[in-house]
Structure 1
Amino acid sequence: MTAHVETLQFQSEARQLLQLVIHSIYSNKDTFLRELVSNASDALDKLRLEAFRDKELAADTSDLHVDIEVDKDKRTLTVRDNGIGMARDEVVGLIGTIAKSGTAEFLRKLKEAQDAAGSQELIGRFGIGFYSSFMVADKVTLVTRRAGSAEGVRWESSGESTYTIEPVSDAPQGTAVTLHLKPADPEEHLHDYTAREKLVEIIKRYSDFITWPVRVVPEDGGEPETINSRKALWARPASEVTEDEYTEFYRHLSHDWNAPLETIRLRAEGTFEYQALLFLPSRAPLDLFMRERKRGVQLYVKRVFVMDDCEELMPEYLRFVKGVVDAQDLSLNVSREILQQDRHIQLMRRRLVKKILSTVKSMMTEKPDDYATFWREFGRAVKEGLLDDFDNRDAILDIASFDSTHDPEKPTTLAQYVERMKEGQEHIYYMTGESRTRIENSPHLEAFRAKGFEVLVLTDPIDEMWVDAVAGFGGKKFQSIAKGEVDLDTEDEKKETQARQEDFAELLSWLTETLGEGVKEVRLSSRLTTSPACIVGDTHELSPMMEKMYRAMGQDLPAIKRILELNPTHPLVTGLRDAHRERKDDTGLAETAELIYGMALLAEGGELDDPARFTRLLSGHLQRAL
C-alpha cells in the first residue's frame, strides 16, 4: 500500500519570510548547524523529562545523543537525535508554519531596516532558526517519530511555496533533519559542510556546552566521536568561561541572534544549594507585552533539566530575563503546583530578583551606556514591579529613569532629581500624558517652567497606575501638577492671591453656577502664567488618561467632574470679570464662559461633549470681534 503524500502550501507571508531567510538575513551561514543542534538538544531534554513523568512511555532513554552524518558523494548533511520527536500535527504546526506569530511584524521591521546589519539584528526576535537550513541546502528532508507512537512522519521542502508530508512506518524515535546541500562553490571553500574539520569547528564554537553528546559519525561507519565537552557553564568556575561561551550559551537558551547585554552568576551554599546563570538581553522580544508570552528561566535539578519557562522563579515584571537555575535539593518529580508552595523556591526567587536589581544598579555607574539600553528596552516592564513587588519597590525606584523638563535629551533618575530640587521644595513633581509634546504644551507646566521647578514627564500607560500606589522617594512625595492645589507662591504672592480671591469671588460663583454639571468648582490658579484657564482634578481622582484607559477596557465609570482654574492676570479673564460686573444678564457672557471651559478642556487633551456647539460659539465670537 502506497503512503498518502500531501502537498501543502506555506502561508503567503511565510513564503516571503522564507525567501528572506534564505537570501537576506543570515550573514554567517555556519549558524544553521547551531540552530539544528540546539533544537535537537531541546528534544532530548523533553524526552528525558517526559519519560521521568510517564513511566509507561515506550521510549528508549538509555543513550540519548545528537549525531551528525555526512555523505560527500550525495552532498547531504544529517543532524539526528533520538529525543521526543514529533507527531504529524506538530510537524505541520511547528515546521510547516514559519514564525507562527509575528510574521507580518517581522516583514514590516525588515523593510524598515536600512542596512544588512539592521536586518540581522531582527533574526533573534522570531522563531525561524530551523529555516536557516535553506541557506546551504536546496532541499530539506525531516523524518520524525514521537516517542511512544508507532508511526512516523516525513516532511520535505525545497524552500519554495509548498512542502510535502507523509506517514512513514519505519522511522526511528526522534528527529533526523537531512540537508541536501547546494553544489560546492570553489569561491566558498570555508563553507564546506561535508568536511569533518569544519563540522568540528562549528560544534566546538557554538555547542560545546550542550549537556548531551554531540557526535560526528565517520563516513566509513566507524565509532562516532563526541566533539563537545558537555560541561555545564554554570558549574564551571567563572575564570574558566569566556565571553564567547556565555554568548553562545545565551543564544542557545533564548534563540536570540544578539549577544546578551549583561551576564549574572549566582551561587548559594548552605542548607539549600543552587547555582544560577542569568542573562539580561540587549533587545526586548516582540512578545514582551503579549498575553501569550512565555516567561521564566530553565530549572535544573543536579544538572538534570526539569522545566522550561519556570514562572515561579521570576516575577512577571522580569519576564525578559533568560537563564538557568540548578538546584541541588529539589525532587526531579516536581510540578508547577508544587513549586508554587515550595519555601525554597520562594527564597531562591527573592535572591534572584535582588541580584538582578542590584546588577542593574551597578550598571548605572559602571556601564551607563548599557544601562541606558536596558532601561530603553525593558523599563516599561520593570515599572510594573512598582505595583506587584512591594518588597523591592525601593530597589526598583533606585534603578528607574524618567524623562523630565530638566534635559529633553537625557532621562533622569529619581536620585538625580532630588539632588537638583530647589531649596524648600517638598514634592517630586510629575505630569502624566499621552506624549512628551502634549505634556510640554500643557498649561499646567507654565508656572513650574517660569519658576524653575523640574517636572517628570511620564508617558507610559503604567505610569498612570504606579504614581498613585507609591508614596514617594527619598522622603519626598510624588505630586501631580494636574491634580489638587499647587503651592509655588512666595508669602507676598500668597497675599496678592488672597486679595484677588475677593476681587474675583463674584465671577467665580457665577461661573460655577453657569457651567453647572460640567465642573465641580471654579477657582483662581497659581499654576498659570500665559493661558487663561486649565482643567485640574482633585488629588485622588482618576486622571483623564486613566479614565480613558478604564473606559477603553469596558469599565462603566460615573461622570468625573473636574475643577476649572482661571489665570487672574490674563486679559480674557479680567475682561470677563469686568464685563460681568457691568452686564450680568448678557447671554454672550455665558457663551464666553463655555468657550473658556472648552479651550481648557482641549488644552489637556480632553473631549468636548458637543464639538458642533463649541464651533458655532467660537465662530460667532470671532465674527463679532471683526
Structure 2
Amino acid sequence: MMQRLSSTTTTTTTRSALLRYGGGALRRDVLAPISSSHLTAKSQVGESDTKAARWFSIMSSDRSTFDSSNLKRDLFFGKRYESTAAESSSSAAAERYEYQAEVSRLMDLIVNSLYSNKEVFLRELISNASDALDKLRFLSVTEPGLLKEAVDFDIRIQADKDNGIISITDTGIGMTRQELVDCLGTIAQSGTAKFLKALKDSKDAGGDNNLIGQFGVGFYSAFLVSDRVVVSTKSPKSDKQYVWEGEANASSYTISEETDPEKLIPRGTRLTLDDKGFAHPERIEKLVKNYSQFVSFPIYTWQEKGYTKEVEVDEDTAEDKKDDQDDKTEKKKKTKTVVERYWDWELTNDTQPIWLRNPKEVTKEEYNEFYKKTFNEYLEPLASSHFTTEGEVEFRSILYVPAFAPSGKDDIINPKTKNIRLFVKRVFISDDFDGELFPRYLSFVKGVVDSNDLPLNVSREILQESRIVRIMRKRLVRKAFDMILGISMSENKEDYEKFWENFGKHLKLGCIEDRENHKRIAPLLRFFSSQSDEELISLDEYVENMKPDQKDIYYIAADSVTSAKNTPFLEKLAEKDLEVLFLVDPIDEVAIQNLKSYKEKNFVDISKEDLDLGDKNEEKEKEMKQEFGQTCDWIKKRLGDKVASVQISNRLSSSPCVLVSGKFGWSANMERLMKAQSMGDASSLEFMRSRRVFEINPDHSIIRNLDDAFKTNPDDEDALRAIDLLYDAALVSSGFTPDNPAQLGGKIYEMMGMALTGKWSTPGQFQSTVTQPHTPETLEAEVVEPTEAGGQK
C-alpha cells in the first residue's frame, strides 16, 4: 500500500519510505543541465567547436570547466539560458512495463475527474520531495555512508515558459530500479480499494474530491498538468541512475539507465513535466509561497533578476555647434543607466514557521509582523495566542483578533472568510472552511493551525466527520475565548471597547447558535443600562450592583437608549433604584432569551405581564380589584380582541396605562422585527398580538375619571372615545406600532378640538357671548354676521 512518508514514519520499510521518492540536485556550486535541446552557439562554446552544444542552467556540471570569472561575466551581462526537458531516451535500451490495472484506472480518475484546482500538483510534488529529504536525514544517522555525496538538502524548481517545461529536483533518498517499479508502477490492492471507495463516497455526497495524498497517490497528481512525466532518480545505495517515463493515457511505462554524463546527478530525484499552463517562473514562485512557504527544507526557484549599470551614450550633434571657447573645455563623457537581466536561483520559502518556535522566545513584534504578512493587514492585531496542544490530538496554532472588522461586516453572515489557514506538516492545505474549525460567530478570528495528525489532502467530508477535527475545533474555540477574555480584562479599556464595537454582534450570535459555550460567551457581553450613564457594562458588573433582595436581572428591548430611558415600563423600577439593561440591538433580545440566566439569576423582561418586583401587597391588590374590577371589564369590552385582558398595574407611577406583552408573547421590539421579515407568518403575528395585556394605573386622574364615567353612564360616547384614544396612546408609548396611524391622528385632532374650544377667543367675542341672552336680536345681528363672513374667508 502506498503511503506518504514523513519524519514520523521512521519504522516503515524501505519500499514504503521510498514511495515519497527522493530527488537529486547537484552541489550548490555545480548545477546539472536540465536541457536536452541541441543548439548551435559557437560564440559561447568556442569557434572551433562545430558540434551541437548543450546549454546549462548557470554553469556546466563538469567541475573542471567551471570558471568563476566566466560565471560573473555571464551573469552580469544577461546571458539567456535555455531550459528544456531532459530527454527520456538514452544509449541504454529502455524496458517497458505494464501498469497494474488499478493504477491505470486511478490515473484516469485523477486526470479526468478528481481535481478542480489543478495547481495543488506542485504542493503534492514538493511534499514528496520534502518527505524524501526527511527520510534520507533519518537514515543517515545510522548509515552515514548515504551522505557520501556532499550536497545540500534542498528542493529546486525551474520553469521554462518558452518550452513549457517544469523541473522539480531534490537531493533526497532517490530510488533504485526495483523501487521505481514497485513505487511508481503498482499500488497495493488495499490502498487502491480504499481510495476508490473514498472517491465514490465523496461523489455520492456531492463533496469536493480533494483526495490525492490520502492513499499514497500524490505522485500521480503530476498528470493533472502534464501528459508526459519523466522521473530521473539515483539512490545513494546504487551506483546507477535510472529514468522512469510515463504518459497519462498510456497503459505502460519505461525504465532505462541514464548514461548521458551531462544528465547524471549525485543523489536524489528530478521530475520533468511538459506543461505550458503552469510553466511560468512567476506563477511557480506564487504557488510555492502559497502552499509550501513553511516546508522545512529550502526551496529555490529559477528567477529572472536584474542589476543596473552605467553605459556610455553617443554625443549630441548639437555639441559641435558650440563656440571655440567651449570646444577648448574638456568634455565629460555622457552615460545612462540600463538594466541588465540574468537568471539565478532564489530562495522562495524564506519565512520560517513561527508557530514551531517556543512562545517564550517570540517577541510581540514578531507576532505582529507575521500577522501582517500572512493576512495582508496593515494594522496590528488586538491580541494573539500562541499555543501547542498535546495528548490524543497534537497541533500548533497562532490565533489573532483583528483590530477592525472587514468593510461591510458581512462575515457574520458569510462564514467563508478565509481567515484560518490549515497546514499539515507545514504544508498549506486550505483556508476554505464552512464552520469545520471555527463556528461562524467566531469567523473574525484569524490564525494558522498546523497538524501532523491529518492527511495531507483533507476533503470536506473528512473535516466534517473526523474526530480529530472535532477535538481541534473544541480546543481552538476555547483558546479564542481565552484570548478575548484577556482583552476584556486588560487595563486598557479602549481595546475591549474597540473589540465590542467591531465584533460584539458576533458574540451575541454565539448566544443563539452555541449553547455549549454560553458560560464563556456571557461574561464577554456588554450592554447599556438605566444606571450606566451611557457606558457599556458587563453582566458581572450588573450582578455586583444588584440589591440584596433582588432575584432577577431586568431588561427591556428598545430601538434606542433614549426610547428605553423614557419608556413607562421603567417608572416603578426607577423609583426602587433597580437597574435595567437596555437591549438596543435587534439581535440583543434573542441572545438574552437564549442565555435565560447568568450566575443563577434569571433574565426578566419588564415589558411582559406578571412582573414581580418583590413588593407584592395582596390586601391592596384585592382592594383595587374590588374597586376597579368592573371598570377593567368595561374597558375590555370596549377594546374587544385588541387585548387579552385589562389588569391593575404594579409597574406604573406617572403614566395612566401601558400595554404589556403576554408572558409567552412577543415584546414590542420582537414584533417590530417579525414585521420586518418579508417572509413572516401573518397568522403568527395576529396570534401574538392578541396576547397583549392592557394595564391601568388606578392612582392616575385619567383612570379615576374613567371610573367615574363608568359608574355614571357606561354608554357615554365621550368616555368610550377616551378609552380608544387611551389605548392608542399606550400602544405608542409602549413601543408598538399603531395599525392605522391616520385614524389615530384623527382622534387626537378631535380631542384637541374639544379641549381647545373657546380657550383663545378675543375679549369682544367672549363678552358678546355672555350678554347674548339679554339682547338677543341686536347681538345676534352684530355677532353672527361677522362670524359667518369670517367663516367664508
TM-score (norm 2): 0.53
Equivalent residue for 1:550, pick from 674, 699, 703: 674
d(CA) in 1 for partners of 2:444 and 2:695?
Answer: 44
Q: Are residues 210 and 271 of structure 1, via their aligned partners in 2, closer, same or farther at CA, if it must alter by over 3 Å?
A: closer
d(CA) in 1 for partners of 2:294 and 2:534?
Answer: 44
Maintained 8 Å contact 1:218/1:224: no
Count of residue correspondences = 450
Q: Are residues 222 and 459 of structure 1, via their aligned partners in 2, closer, same or farther at CA, if it must alter by over 3 Å?
A: same
SS in 1 for 2:403: coil
d(CA) in 1 for partners of 2:484 and 2:342?
Answer: 52
The equivalent of 2:432 in structure 1 is 309
d(CA) in 2 for partners of 1:454 and 1:585?
Answer: 43
Whether 2:593 is the aligned partner of 1:468: answer yes
Maintained 8 Å contact 1:489/1:526: no
Whether 2:457 is the aligned partner of 1:339: answer no
Maintained 8 Å contact 1:262/1:280: yes
1:372 is displaced (CA, Å) by 2.3
Maintained 8 Å contact 2:609/2:693: no
Residue by residue over 1:385-406, the C-alpha shift from the partner in whole angstroms, topping out at 9 and shown as x without a partner, is 1122122111111221111112
Equivalent residue for 1:321, pick from 416, 433, 445: 445
1:441 is displaced (CA, Å) by 1.5
d(CA) in 2 for partners of 1:213 and 1:437?
Answer: 64
Residue by residue over 1:23-79, the C-alpha shift from the partner in whole angstroms, topping out at 9 and shown as x without a partner, is xxxxxxxxxxxxxxxxxxxxxxx8763556899xxxxx974599xxxxxxxxxxxxx
1:485 is displaced (CA, Å) by 1.6
Q: Are residues 225 and 599 of structure 1, via their aligned partners in 2, closer, same or farther at CA, if it must alter by over 3 Å?
A: same
Q: How does 1:192-211 map to 2 (within 5 A)?
A: none
Residue by residue over 1:406-439, the C-alpha shift from the partner in whole angstroms, topping out at 9 and shown as x without a partner, is 2133211111111111121111001112221111
SS in 2 for 1:362: helix
SS in 2 for 1:431: strand
1:533 is displaced (CA, Å) by 1.2
Q: How does 1:134-173 map to 2 (within 5 A)?
A: 148=225, 173=279
Residue by residue over 1:183-221, the C-alpha shift from the partner in whole angstroms, topping out at 9 and shown as x without a partner, is xxxxxxxxxxxxxxxxxxxxxxxxxx8666698935362
Equivalent residue for 1:582, pick from 712, 720, 726: 712
Gaps (5+ residues) in structure 2?
A: 1-116, 127-153, 160-165, 168-223, 228-274, 284-292, 308-340, 757-793
Equivalent residue for 2:476, pick from 342, 352, 360: 352
Q: Are residues 174 and 431 of structure 1, via their aligned partners in 2, closer, same or farther at CA, if it must alter by over 3 Å?
A: farther
Residue by residue over 1:570-622, the C-alpha shift from the partner in whole angstroms, topping out at 9 and shown as x without a partner, is 11111111122112110111111111110011112322222222222222222
Q: Root-mean-square deviation (CA), in Å?
A: 3.1
Q: How does 1:413-432 map to 2 (within 5 A)?
A: 413-432=538-557
Residue by residue over 1:434-476, the C-alpha shift from the partner in whole angstroms, topping out at 9 and shown as x without a partner, is 2211111111111111211000111222222122222201111
Q: Which moved more, 1:275-284 or 1:573-582?
A: 573-582
Maintained 8 Å contact 1:287/1:293: no
Q: Which amino acid aligns with 1:524?
A: I
d(CA) in 1 for partners of 2:695 and 2:158?
Answer: 74
Residue by residue over 1:145-165, the C-alpha shift from the partner in whole angstroms, topping out at 9 and shown as x without a partner, is xx9499xxxxxxxxxxxxxxx
d(CA) in 2 for partners of 1:524 and 1:490?
Answer: 15
Equivalent residue for 1:528, pick from 652, 663, 687: 652
d(CA) in 2 for partners of 1:171 and 1:505?
Answer: 87
The equivalent of 1:406 in structure 2 is 531
Q: Are residues 216 and 499 of structure 1, via their aligned partners in 2, closer, same or farther at CA, if it must alter by over 3 Å?
A: farther
1:223 is displaced (CA, Å) by 3.4
SS in 1 for 2:344: coil
d(CA) in 1 for partners of 2:445 and 2:737?
Answer: 41
d(CA) in 2 for partners of 1:273 and 1:489?
Answer: 53
Structure of greater Rg: 2
Equivalent residue for 1:624, pick from 729, 744, 754: 754
Q: How does 1:365-514 map to 2 (within 5 A)?
A: 365-367=489-491, 368-488=493-613, 490=615, 494-514=618-638
1:364 is displaced (CA, Å) by 2.3
Residue by residue over 1:217-267, the C-alpha shift from the partner in whole angstroms, topping out at 9 and shown as x without a partner, is 353626345387431011122233332332232223333322111011120
d(CA) in 2 for partners of 1:175 and 1:239?
Answer: 38
Q: Are residues 430 and 528 of structure 1, via their aligned partners in 2, closer, same or farther at CA, if it must alter by over 3 Å?
A: same
Q: Which amino acid aligns with 2:399?
A: L
d(CA) in 1 for partners of 2:636 and 2:395?
Answer: 66
Q: Are residues 216 and 525 of structure 1, via their aligned partners in 2, closer, same or farther at CA, if it must alter by over 3 Å?
A: farther
Gaps (5+ residues) in structure 1?
A: 1-45, 56-60, 67-81, 84-146, 151-168, 178-208
Q: Are residues 63 and 503 of structure 1, via their aligned partners in 2, closer, same or farther at CA, if it must alter by over 3 Å?
A: farther
d(CA) in 1 for partners of 2:158 and 2:374?
Answer: 18
Maintained 8 Å contact 2:636/2:646: yes
1:287 is displaced (CA, Å) by 4.3
SS in 2 for 1:359: helix
Q: Which amino acid aligns with 2:397?
A: A
Equivalent residue for 1:564, pick from 690, 694, 705: 694
SS in 2 for 1:565: strand
SS in 1 for 2:749: helix
SS in 2 for 1:616: helix
Q: Are residues 259 and 52 of structure 1, via their aligned partners in 2, closer, same or farther at CA, if it must alter by over 3 Å?
A: closer
Maintained 8 Å contact 1:532/1:566: yes
Q: Are residues 486 and 271 of structure 1, via their aligned partners in 2, closer, same or farther at CA, if it must alter by over 3 Å?
A: closer
d(CA) in 2 for partners of 1:331 and 1:458?
Answer: 46
Whether 2:217 is the aligned partner of 1:217: answer no
Residue by residue over 1:533-577, the C-alpha shift from the partner in whole angstroms, topping out at 9 and shown as x without a partner, is 111111221223223323332121431221111111111111111
1:532 is displaced (CA, Å) by 1.3
The equivalent of 1:256 in structure 2 is 377
The equivalent of 2:731 in structure 1 is 601
d(CA) in 2 for partners of 1:484 and 1:64?
Answer: 74
Maintained 8 Å contact 2:416/2:432: yes
Maintained 8 Å contact 2:118/2:225: no
d(CA) in 2 for partners of 1:235 and 1:507?
Answer: 77
Q: Are residues 213 and 605 of structure 1, via their aligned partners in 2, closer, same or farther at CA, if it must alter by over 3 Å?
A: farther
SS in 1 for 2:579: coil
Q: Which amino acid aligns with 2:481?
A: L
Q: How does 1:112-131 map to 2 (within 5 A)?
A: none
Maintained 8 Å contact 1:49/1:305: no
SS in 2 for 1:312: coil
Maintained 8 Å contact 1:288/1:320: no
